[in-house]
Structure 1
Amino acid sequence: MKAILCTHFGPPEELTLSEVPSPKPGKGQVTIAVKACGVNFPDTLLIQNKYQFKPPLPFSPGGEVAGIVLEVGENVAHVAVGQRVLALTGWGGFAEEVAADAATVLPIPPDMDFVAASSMMYTYGTSYHALKNRAQLQPGETLLVLGAAGGVGLAAVQLGVLMGARVIAAASSDEKLAICRTLGAAETINYSTEDLRERIKEYTAGRGVDVVYDPVGDRYTEPALRSIAWKGRYLVVGFAAGEIPKIPLNLALLKGCQIVGVFWGAFAKNEPKESQQNFKELLYWMTEGKLSQHIHKIYSLPDAPAALRDMMERRVVGKAVVEVFGTT
């Protein structure tokens, strides 16, 4: 089978399209013929040896796939050969076939295509865990989403609206913010041209926001934390802007707020029942038309390195997807 391989750590341009043996399912695993694989920011970190998880070389990037079950291993009963499924793999998805732990495999609803299925687990999974489990976001609260046009950011905007919050979307261009407004953001902030703190103060009449969703880090963290309301919750999701910020901890004291870590991968591993329940709720909302992924671009398997480069250069608005065999 063909796969995009990372044989040594480095930039996307050094990945290779190679012939490798097809995987066999171990106990509690299934093998999947990959139809589509979502592209995510952690993929860009994995190939540079900058992520929490460090797969042994060589490996294929790609952590969420949709496809058809080819073979099931021992102790797997909830899916069958020939079934359409989505799965979390961590890595290995930029390939024609992948082995996945059965606990992460779920059937795809009949009216959902492979591209949509492959694009929802990381972004919606992360954002729903953040807003539901970590922030316990309530109807009527105000949610600030930084990096709002990225994959997890747009998911957080949509979920915040669906959960009854008033959403303020912050991003780096007016074009990106226009998409946020179409998905329900009540107000927007272009933090490339506007003062983040002043705009938050204006939108909240000086009160501040109840929840901050921050997948960006860097220079945006401290002004956003200074703009949080009393007993607010600051969600530390990631550091897409590059720098891990250092913050004055006296702000947490003065605001009476919580600084809350969001590590969705660890949540899915340590609390699998809660994670699967979240996915069932997300899939229901998607089939009901209440959530809809914004697809930036669909790439072929040989073009997967270009997808990762676009992700690194922050050109992706919403979700990029690598299509392997097509969606029919």
Structure 2
Amino acid sequence: MESLTKNGNSIQDNTENHQNNTHLEQTSFNTTEVIMPGIIEPEGLLVRSRVLDSPAAGQVTVKMEASGIAFAEQSMRRGRYYEQPKFPFVPGYDLVGSVVATGPDVDPALIGKRVAAMTKIGGWASYVLLSASDLLPVPETIDPLEAETLIVNGITAWQMLHLKAQIKRGQTILVHGANGGVGTILTQLALYAGVKVIGTASPRHHETLRAQGVMPVDYNDIDLAGSVLKLSPGGVDSVFDHLGGASFARSFGLLAKGGVLVCYAIASALNDKGNVLIPFLKVLIQLGWWNIMPNGRKAYFYNIWDGKGSEAFQIQLRETFTELTTLLASGALKPQIAARFPLAQITAAMKLAESRTAYGKVVLIP
């Protein structure tokens, strides 16, 4: 078991009883973290070590066990993520880890508990300071890397399916990027709910998708719409699209009467220049126009942070994550981990995540 040293004394980081809590709360932890110094290529990401502050009131120190690479970090390194902090900063949208120290007003019984958190930034570090109120409990029987896939990706997938699209058994949906971090969970959740799934992906992933019950379509198919309509002649009941641009219009056109388009990113604008808000505003205007058209179809932009800071937001987050961990524990969900990399290999990890060749989530470990 790893130990931490302070003033020459060795302290186990996973205490066996609460008698050591006071010592842990006073311990400074050496954290290794990834720094995004500016608009850079993956090779420009830096790794450094420093002493982490002790947790303040309302905070805990979490030893990271897994943190994912999401589309958000790909946008951030290009300076294209809305409301990202000024450079330099530590990226990392979510994480799973164990509590190793608590602030003066936080229940010390949390020490040793495995937790998850949506961080937006800061997750790519071996030790992280978090607000105790943001912690989501993770059952000890669940593998931390698998639990990591359920945070941003899993919550996004579940809420889009059940809150935005409100899918029903027997419907047919189209999932763009069915091999991705969100797509692999979204397709499983839909199939579990009795929904037929058409998924776009590179041909290299089609066999895997078919084995799971997904009807694959080549995402580079020049007649993608025609291929989808061959599988679902009357159109589809919902489309989940992260691409943006012309893809949103094509997706909306594939909806059956009463269908729902759920947009959740604008990947086509990843390498654009200029104000990052412009593509987003254009999308909102287009979605608003579609929603007032008398065709019975609806279009939404999903943002996982909607309602952040409200009690309802936190309750929904916890309920969704609990639902996902329950499905994982039962075997109904099988998270797809494309690869795992230590923080020190962040360049290789980022390149794989951006390659569009991975099936599932690229995960970082300490």
Q: Is the TM value for this pair above 0.5? A: yes
What is the CA deviation profile of residues 88-145 of structure 1, one whole-angstrom value per residue up to 9, with x for unaligned ones?
2211121111112223312221221221122221111111111111111111111110
The alpha-carbon distance between structure 1 residues 100 and 249, as it changes in their structure 2 partners (threshold 3 A), is closer
Q: Which amino acid aligns with 2:336?
A: H
* Contact 2:101 2:108 (8 Å CA) reproduced: no
- Cα RMSD (Å): 2.2
Could you say which residue in structure 1 is the equivalent of 2:245? 218
Structure 2 unmatched ranges of 5 or more: 1-30, 271-278
Kindly name which structure, 1 or 2, has the bigger radius of gyration based on alpha carbons.
2
User: Is residue 261 of structure 1 aligned with residue 290 of structure 2?
Assistant: no
After superposition, residues 130-279 of structure 1 pair within 5 angstroms as 130-171=160-201, 173-185=202-214, 187-193=215-221, 195-205=223-233, 207-242=234-269, 244=279, 252=291, 253=293, 255-267=295-307, 269-270=309-310, 271-279=313-321
Per mean C-alpha deviation after superposition, the further-off stretch among 247-256 and 215-224 is 247-256
How far apart, CA to CA, are the structure 1 residues paired with 2:304 and 2:187?
A: 17
- Give runs of ≥4 in structure 1 deviating > 4 Å: 243-252, 267-270
User: 1:182, CA displacement in angstroms?
Assistant: 2.7
Q: Which of residues 77, 84, 94 in structure 2 aligns to 1:64?
A: 94
Q: Which amino acid aligns with 1:180?
A: L
Give the alignment's TM-score, normalised by structure 2. 0.81
Of the three residues 5, 24, 35, the one matched with 2:54 is: 24
| SS of corresponding position for 1:20 | strand
Deviates more, 1:101-110 or 1:29-38: 101-110
Say if 1:228 and 1:255, in contact at 8 Å, map to a contact too.
no
Matches within 5 A, 1:289-304: 289-304=331-346
Q: Which amino acid aligns with 2:221?
A: T
Counterparts of residues 85-104 of structure 1 (less than 5 Å): 85-104=115-134
How many percent of aligned residue pairs carry the same amino acid?
26
Alpha-carbon distance in 2 for matches of 1:193, 1:57:
39
In structure 2, relative to structure 1, the CA distance for the partners of 1:249 and 1:134 (3 Å cut) is closer
- d(CA) in 1 for partners of 2:71, 2:287: 27
Instruction: Tell me how far 1:241 sits from its aligned partner.
Output: 3.6
For 2:207, the aligned partner's letter is A
For 2:315, what is the secondary structure of its paired residue?
A: helix
What residue number does 1:118 align with?
148
The letter for the 2-side match of 1:287 is A
Q: Aligned partner of 1:190: which letter?
A: D
Q: Bigger shift: 243-252 or 5-14? A: 243-252
Larger CA deviation: 75-84 vs 7-16: 75-84
Paired position in structure 2 for 1:51: 81
What are the ranges of 5 or more consecutive residues in structure 1 without an aligned counterpart? none
